Chains A and B, each alone.
Chain A
Amino acid sequence: MPAIDDLFRDLRAKQRKALMPFVTAGDPNPEFTERLIGEVVGRGASLCEIGIPYSDPIADGPVIQASYVRALGAGVRLNEILAMLGRVAPKVAAPLVTMVSYAIVYRHGVQKYLDEARQAGLAGLIVPDLPVDEAARLAEQCRAADLSLVQLVTPTTPRERAVRIAAASSGFLYYVSVAGITGERTELPADLVDNVAWLREQTELPICIGFGISRPEHVRLLSPVADGLIVGSAIVRRVAEAAEKPADQVIAEVGDYVASLLAALPA
C-alpha cells in the first residue's frame, strides 16, 4: 500500500490535518535541501513536496521560477537530486513526493524515473503539466510501482471532469485554490471553501489545497474542509535568502514559519 494512503488513513483516524511544505530541490544546493526536508518534517509536516527544477515551468510564479533558475544555474542534475532524496527519505517520518514536469520524466525515461523514485523511497509524484487525458498510462505504471500519482483539479475544471480526475488520482487530490500560477496571496477566492466542500462530497480521496496559501489565517479557514494544505512560495521565498544568511539560520527560520502554520491547524 502506498505510503500516502497510510498517512491519510492515520490522520483521518486521529481527525488531524496535514501540512505539506514544498521545497525546491537543489536551491541553493542538494545538501541544503536535504537538511531543510529534515527540518520541516521534524517540526511536524506530514508530507513534503519536492520541486524538481525545470527550465520552463508554466504553472509557476516568479518566486518558484527564480528558485529553479538558481538551482539549475548552480548545475544541479536529476541524478544528484534523486541520490539526495534517497539519503533523506529513510530518515524522515513523512512521505516525499516529487513535483516534476513531464518533460523531465519523459526524457529521463518514464519507467526509469519511477523505478529510481521507488528505489529512493519516494511515495509518489505530481506532474503538473500532465492533465488527466494524457495521464492514463503513467497512472497505470505508478500503480504497478506502488507509487501515488496525484492529479490536480482547479477552479476552471468543469464539475464532471473534476469527478473524473478524482477517480484517476491516487494518494490525494490536489485542489488548486486559484486560476493562476503559484505565489503567495493575501486573499483567497471567496468560493474556495464551497468548491472544496462540493468536491468533498464527490470522492473519498483525501483533498489537499495548494497555491497561494501562506498565512496562519489561510490554514484556519481551509483546514476544516481539506485533508491537507500545501505551502510553497512562502517557504521558497525564505530559502532565497540562504545566500546572504548562514544556512542554519535560514533553515531554523523556515522551521519556525512551518511551526507557526502547524499551530493554526486544529489540535
Chain B
Amino acid sequence: MPTEPKTAASLPDAEGRFGAFGGRYVPETLVRALDELAIAYDEARRDEAFQKELAELRFNYVGRPSPLYHARRLSEHCGGAQIWLKREDLNHTGSHKINNTLGQALLTMRMGKRRVIAETGAGQHGVATATACARFGLECVVYMGAEDIRRQAPNVFSMKLLGAEVRHVDTGSKTLRDAINDAMRDWMSSVESTHYILGSVVGPHPFPRIVRDFQSVIGQEAIEQSQQRIGRLPDLVVACVGGGSNAAGMFYPFVAETDVPLVGVEAGGRGPTPGDHASPLSYGSPGVLHGSFSYVMQNDDGQTDDVHSISAGLDYPGVGPEHSYWKDSGRVTYTACEDGAALAAFDMLAKTEGILPALESSHAVAKAMELAAERPQSEAIVVCLSGRGDKDAAEIARLREG
C-alpha cells in the first residue's frame, strides 16, 4: 500500500487509527478521560493563546530552536556524506522529552487537573515531566522500573530535586513497560483528578497524536534549518525509535516530502534472538499492548516478551502505532542497531565532536555513520540527536569495568 502523503499527514482518524494501527484498547474506566483529553487538545490546538504560550515557553524556557549542527569531524571520520545533528540534547533538561511535557502540562492546567503522573525509562521523560510540573506548580509522581532506577541514577536525583515523587516499580522486567503498567493502574483510580503525561507516541488514542504533534517542532525546525544551512532538504533523515516520539516528531513534517528517505533505528540489543533486543518493527508482529494496536514483541499467546537494550529509553517491547503505519506503507524504513555499535558511536561522537550523546541517540548516530560511509560527500544526512549522555556516563563506565 503506497503512502498518500496528503492523507497520511491528516491521520489519525476520529477513532485514533493510523490505517489499521492505533485505536483504544483500555478499560472502560479510562475512556471518559481519554475523550476529555481529545476534546481539550482539539480546542487547545486551535486556540491562539495556547499556541502562543507554548511558543513562548519553547523560546525562552527550552531554548528552542535547537541548532542544526554540521558534525564535520565525525563526517570526515566516516569518509562519506555530511552528518548534521539536530541538537535536541541542548534543550533544557537535555532531551526532546521537554517538548511534549510542556505541551501536556499546559493541557493539564486547561483541564483543571492538579496532579500529574508519568512513566519513565531513561529518566529523561521523568525529569522533563518533573520540570514542567515544577514550572506550573503541579503535583508530580513518576513511575520508574527498579532496573532503570539503578542504571539511570542521576536522573532519579534530579526528579526528586525538582519536587517529584519517584515510585519504584518492582514487577516484571522492572523497566519501562512495567512503569507504564503501574502508571496506567494509578490512573485507573485517580483519573478524575489526575492527568497522565505519557512520554512517547504510544498508548491509547489520543496520546500518539498529541505527543507526535508536540514533538513535530523538531522536524519543522529541521526543514527550515536544512533549507537555510544546506540549501535544500536533507538526502536522508535518521532517528532512534523507542516508543518513537523523537522519531515521530522528526519524521512527521517530512512525511509529505516523499523524496526524503526516513530511517528509524530500533535497539538491536545483543542480536535478533527474541529476548535479546527491543526491535518490534524489525522482528515483531502486530498485536495489542498498552492500549494500542501496533507492532510488538509477544509470544504466540499474546504475552509480552522480555526485551533487552543497553539503553533504558529504547528497552521497550512496543512502539507507537503511527510507526507501524509508516512501516507497512513503506514511507519509513526501520532497522536495528546493536548495543556494541551504539557504544562505538557514543565514543566516536565524544572524541570527534566533543558531544556525549544519550545511549538512545547513539543508536541513530551509529546508523547514520554507517549510511554516511556508503554515500557521497555531496549528500547530507540529518540525525536527531535526541538527548545528551551525562546520565549514561556511570553505566558505561560500569559496563567497561565489568
Chain A positions near chain B (C-beta within 8 angstroms): 54-61, 65, 69, 72, 77-78, 101-108, 128-134, 151-158, 161, 165, 176, 178-181
22 contacts between A and B (CB under 8 A): A56-B172, A56-B181, A58-B291, A59-B188, A65-B171, A69-B172, A77-B301, A101-B288, A102-B25, A103-B289, A104-B301, A106-B287, A108-B302, A129-B291, A131-B31, A133-B24, A154-B27, A156-B28, A156-B29, A156-B31, A161-B31, A179-B188
Which residues of chain A come closer than 8 Å to B289, judged between CB atoms? Answer: 56, 103
Which single residue of chain B is at the shortest CB-CB distance from A151? B28
Which residues of chain A come closer than 8 Å to B257, judged between CB atoms? Answer: none
Residue from B24, B27, B31 within 8 A of A58 (CB atoms):
B27
Query: Which residues B34-60 have CB closer than 8 A to chain A?
Result: none
7 smallest CB-CB distances across A and B, nearest first, come from A107-B302, A104-B302, A180-B189, A103-B288, A103-B302, A59-B27, A55-B303
Q: How far is the CB of A170 from chain B (nearest CB, A)?
A: 16
At the interface, yes or no: B355 with Cβ under 8 Å from chain A? no
Give Cα distance in the complex from A60 to B171, angstroms.
13
Query: Do the beta carbons of A179 and B302 come within 8 Å of each other?
Result: no
Most chain B CB neighbours (cut-off 10 Å) among A58, A61, A152, A181: A58
Query: Do the beta carbons of B298 and A58 come within 8 Å of each other?
Result: no
Residue from A102, A132, A158, A179 within 8 A of B288 (CB atoms):
A102
Residue from A104, A134, A176 within 8 A of B24 (CB atoms):
A134
Residue from B24, B27, B191 within 8 A of A128 (CB atoms):
B27
Query: Do the beta carbons of B29 and A105 come within 8 Å of each other?
Result: no
Query: Do the beta carbons of A107 and B300 come within 8 Å of each other?
Result: yes
Which residues of chain B come closer than 8 Å to A155, judged between CB atoms? Answer: 29
Q: How far is the CB of B305 from chain A (nearest CB, A)?
A: 9
At the interface, yes or no: B23 with Cβ under 8 Å from chain A? yes
Query: Do the beta carbons of A179 and B191 come within 8 Å of each other?
Result: yes
Chain B positions near chain A (C-beta within 8 angstroms): 15, 23-33, 171-172, 177, 181, 184-185, 188-189, 191-192, 287-291, 293, 298, 300-304
Give Cα distance in the complex from A132 to B184, angstroms.
19
Which single residue of chain B is at the shortest CB-CB distance from A65? B171
Give Cα distance in the complex from A181 to B188, angstroms.
6
Give Cα distance in the complex from A86 to B298, angstroms.
26
Give Cα distance in the complex from A107 to B293, angstroms.
11
Most chain B CB neighbours (cut-off 10 Å) among A55, A108, A156: A55
Query: Do the beta carbons of A103 and B287 come within 8 Å of each other?
Result: yes
Which single residue of chain A is at the shortest CB-CB distance from B298? A107
Which residues of chain B come closer than 8 Å to A181, judged between CB atoms? Answer: 185, 188-189
Which residues of chain A come closer than 8 Å to B15, judged between CB atoms? Answer: 133
Query: Do the beta carbons of A179 and B25 come within 8 Å of each other?
Result: no
Which single residue of chain A is at the shortest CB-CB distance from B183? A58
Q: How far is the CB of A124 from chain B (nearest CB, A)?
A: 17
Give Cα distance in the complex from A236 to B211, angstroms.
38
Which single residue of chain A is at the shortest CB-CB distance from B187? A58
